[in-house]
């Protein structure tokens, strides 16, 4: 291949890239967004890796910026290590109450705050978290407040 043909080919490729630059950027951005979404759904939060635990309300922060919104912070423990979960969901009605946190067993930093209040008789979750949604399995494996449970049973008998 003569050198002049080589430069002509490079020029054509350069012109094509220049004229289709925004199309390529959009395509690459779409591929990156799909990869992030699929990694969250099929890697971090697949059926084998999802766990649930109890999150305790920490505080709320109001971020000022282009999209100013209230952010609520919850702390949760996984195998003795403390993590922080953030949410912009409206938590005013349950502010200060413990809620369920869904997190990934692969990387506990990946979490989602669920708007489900944990009953007061659930003192703490299992050490490695629940593998199933806790209300569906009647909070099995949790440390429960036995005195409170006995009081409830007595009230139901009356």
Q: Can you tell me the mean pLDDT for 96-117?
A: 92
On whether the CB atoms of residues 98 and 118 are closer than 8 A, the answer is: yes
Q: Assign 1 a pLDDT band (cuts: 50, 70, 90).
A: low
91 pLDDT more than 80: yes
Q: Can you tell me the mean pLDDT for 134-143?
A: 88
Residue-wise pLDDT for 107-135, tens only, equals 999 999 999 999 988 888 988 889 999 99
The residue extents of the domains of the chain are 3-44, 50-157
* C-alpha closest to that of 60 among 43, 51, 73: 73
The neighbour count for residue 26, using CB atoms within 10 Å, is 10
On whether the CB atoms of residues 45 and 33 are closer than 8 A, the answer is: no
Residue-wise pLDDT for 53-70, tens only, equals 999 999 888 877 676 788
Q: How far apart are CA 135 and CA 156, in angstroms?
A: 20
pTM tops 0.75: no
| Residues 6 or more apart in contact with residue 144 via CB below 8 angstroms | 121, 122, 123
């Amino acid at each position: 291949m003569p050198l002049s043909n080589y430069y002509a080919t490079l020029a054509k490729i350069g012109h094509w890239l220049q004229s289709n630059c925004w199309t390529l950027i959009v395509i690459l951005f779409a591929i990156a967004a799909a990869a992030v979404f699929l990694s969250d759904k099929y890697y971090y939060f697949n059926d084998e890796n999802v766990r649930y635990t109890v999150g305790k309300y920490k505080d709320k922060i109001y971020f000022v910026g282009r999209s100013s919104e209230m952010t609520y912070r919850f702390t949760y423990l996984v195998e003795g290590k403390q993590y922080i979960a953030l949410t912009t969901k409206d938590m005013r009605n349950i502010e200060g109450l413990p809620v369920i946190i869904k997190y990934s067993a692969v990387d506990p930093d990946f979490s989602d705050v669920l708007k489900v209040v944990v009953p007061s008789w659930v003192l703490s979750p299992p050490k490695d978290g629940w593998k199933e949604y806790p209300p569906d399995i009647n909070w099995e494996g949790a440390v429960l407040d036995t005195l409170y449970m006995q009081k409830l049973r007595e009230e139901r008998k009356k």
